[in-house]
Chain A
């Protein structure tokens, strides 16, 4: 590094409270970022990457204390500053953007005011000049019609627009350092690509140093100058992006990179050409808000959606948020009642059945949910969670529990897990429990709604393997709903691309990835980060 670093973290050690699973959030952390440089700190959840970022900002939770080291910003140790001096640093010298654009803005304050507030906090300008500057900033981060949008409230903006507002806010005083804590994780892939481009352009134009926290190697490959890999609070590897991605030295880095699903699908497997077990024809669902005077807002979540899945086949349903893919998945189980079309399991049209008549058939189609933390009842033992479905269908409780034991072994957990509660398990383990729960009813069809999206990449790879394995062994038909094209490339036999409630393109995974026909599919594929630098393993 030729220039003096903007940020120089030396030997930083953050102590966790006494009962945590390890004594230090990070220990002996050394990082340096030069002006205009973008350093990615990568790691899985719990690696301490976010804590490190918050330490720079002086925004650590009360229970976490820096016990050793220095955080030097242009040579000044931030850890030695008092509250007032640190407040002056925040916003003026260091700006920060966060993961959740939906919750990171004050919901009852206009976005222009929220941007102007950064200037106000540092006593710059008067009300009118601050607002002018806010509009300028909004123009700079590419928000449409900034003068009007400054008067909008956060809920009137899309996720990507809100993240642009956050960036405008963080850059208001042209800080020398920008900290971005997973800023694109909650965004759709095309929006993510735009935000990454924006961050990249801003640091080039202003020479801002960027500390970019992420768990996503695709994003890293897209944007990083240098990379630091964090495992259990320790930097295991650090170096220029090309070196770390192309020739990883540390075993952990290699494992992480190997776990990133490739965007190149495997060669097509010979498929069981059977009768479709699930067939959907002309499915439609409209969400409408009723009001006293006339019709309210109408959203066409699904329109004329048709597909079928054979036994032993995985159909991927991909699209961005709001495309209607989850609605379609839920309609197949009649968790949402469709407005039009028919859904058949074998020859049985389940849309024609009454709720009561459908109940005995529910066991044939089961679901695995996205959030392994929210989808298991926290007050029930794992055994009862898994056995509940069979018991409801008339199986003897004792036999159901015995079966639960077998299922736990099937999904790779010890049978001893049966008497424990969900909170005693990690995210990946909970997702295994969720899969065991779905399998307890011996379904023919599994609907997996973003089933691996909340998991770290190494855990994600394990769960994907498990799903593949189960599909083969049990001959399941799987409807795999996901926004992640890398995951879809690896697990799906066929893929249907959804946009605004319609399937715009459907085909074999290999064909679709090699030669996407619809412009929207092309756009989605082009937006997947890291395609250039992340090669297939």
Chain B
């Protein structure tokens, strides 16, 4: 199957999956007790029946469920994610405002974990059985087993509060009004802790997996062929062992990429990072259905997208794959 055909088929399947997820989200959210009208009325201190009724009518919550679903799906089909009465803005605007921060954080975490994890795995495999290998594998196990929130809090205490190397929380220094390069550097310094924290788990996972994969490939017949050619060990490691050992990592990276958007909720909350993870948390507390559904949808779309990208990358990385 050609690349274009493969892509078309995957995109088509992706759209079907997204539609199913959108429907599922709609019902899941209504299965939870309470609705936005009740929360807003409660906050306004005017929870009388008439005011509630008025709010419900305004939000369309008095209409039948199939009708509401219809309106919701019709909107999503035209990429209109709806309107947040809570924020008095379109959901697309709310999500669009927060998305760049999340993409910056998760992208950085992704790159750090992939690069660092693979590198550590290659190092550990090259020194298998020696102390540096033990150090890497033990450290990987520790970080693999430690809860994310604990690492987040401890890194804040040690590196931000005690040592003062990097800022504690936030996206940038409020009130500094930096521009250009100064602003980029400011954001980068704020990014260090959350990105490292978020990437740590996967760094550990990649390191362990890459090590195992490298050792397995090192015993393959074609490595003997490479040695019989008279190649230097460094070339054999790079061109023959690592190039093949990376294949399972690609699969794992696809999973991570999909998970990063949703998995950032905890990190964004702890580090007060203004991304969609925190937006999701806020929307949940406020029962802001429209925003919540919008965030869910964007996250799902990311997962589907990254899955397709992973399949594409895999096809390039491993010529034996014709079609999945």
Contact = CB atoms under 8 A, between A and B. Distances in A.
A104 B230 contact: no
B236 to A, nearest CB: 10
A108 B318 contact: yes
A170 B320 CA distance: 24
B116 to A, nearest CB: 23
A42 interface: no
Contacts of B79: none
B221 interface: yes
Interface of A: 57, 59, 87-92, 95-96, 98, 100, 103-109, 117-118, 121-122, 153, 155, 166, 169-170, 291-293
B220 interface: yes
Contacts of B230: 87-92, 118, 121-122
Contacts of B235: 121
A117 B236 CA distance: 11
A109 B320 CA distance: 11
Interface of B: 1, 5, 9, 12, 220-222, 224-232, 235, 239-240, 243-244, 247, 317-320, 323
A103 B228 contact: no
B9 A121 contact: no
B229 A59 contact: no
B240 A90 contact: no
A108 B317 CA distance: 7
B228 A170 contact: yes
17 contacts: A87-B232, A88-B230, A90-B229, A90-B230, A91-B228, A92-B230, A96-B228, A106-B244, A108-B318, A109-B239, A117-B239, A118-B229, A121-B229, A121-B232, A153-B320, A155-B319, A169-B229
Contacts of B1: 291, 293
Given A87-B232, A107-B320, A293 B226 contact: no
A142 B318 CA distance: 27
Contact of B221 (A100, A122, A153): A100
Given A155-B320, A291-B323, A107 B228 contact: no
Contacts of B244: 106-108
B231 A121 contact: yes
B319 A98 contact: no
Contacts of A98: 221, 224-225
Contacts of B229: 90-91, 117-118, 121, 169
B228 A106 contact: no
Given A117-B226, A117-B229, A153-B320, 13 more contacts: A57-B228, A88-B230, A89-B230, A92-B230, A95-B228, A98-B225, A104-B224, A104-B225, A106-B240, A107-B320, A118-B230, A121-B229, A291-B323
A442 B323 CA distance: 45
A57 B225 CA distance: 11
Given A90-B230, A95-B228, A293 B9 contact: yes
B7 to A, nearest CB: 12
Contacts of B232: 87, 121
A454 B317 CA distance: 35
A107 to B, nearest CB: 6
Contacts of B12: 292
- Of the listed residues B220, B227, B228, B320, the one surrounded by the most CB atoms of chain A closer than 10 A to its CB is B228
Contacts of B240: 106, 109
A118 B230 CA distance: 7
A89 B231 CA distance: 11
B249 to A, nearest CB: 13
Given A117-B231, A121-B235, A166 B225 contact: yes
Nearest to B318: A108
B227 A108 contact: no
Contacts of A105: 222, 225
A107 B231 contact: no
Contacts of B243: 106, 108-109
B231 to A, nearest CB: 5
B228 A90 contact: yes
A124 to B, nearest CB: 11
A57 B240 CA distance: 19
B57 to A, nearest CB: 46
Given A121-B235, A292-B9, A106 B320 contact: no
B227 A59 contact: yes
A297 B120 CA distance: 42
A104 B221 contact: yes
B227 A104 contact: no
Contacts of B247: 108
Contact of B222 (A106, A155, A292): A106
Contacts of B225: 98, 104-106, 166, 169
A522 B12 CA distance: 53
A100 B220 CA distance: 11
B227 A90 contact: yes
A118 B236 CA distance: 12
Contact of A108 (B5, B226, B319, B323): B319
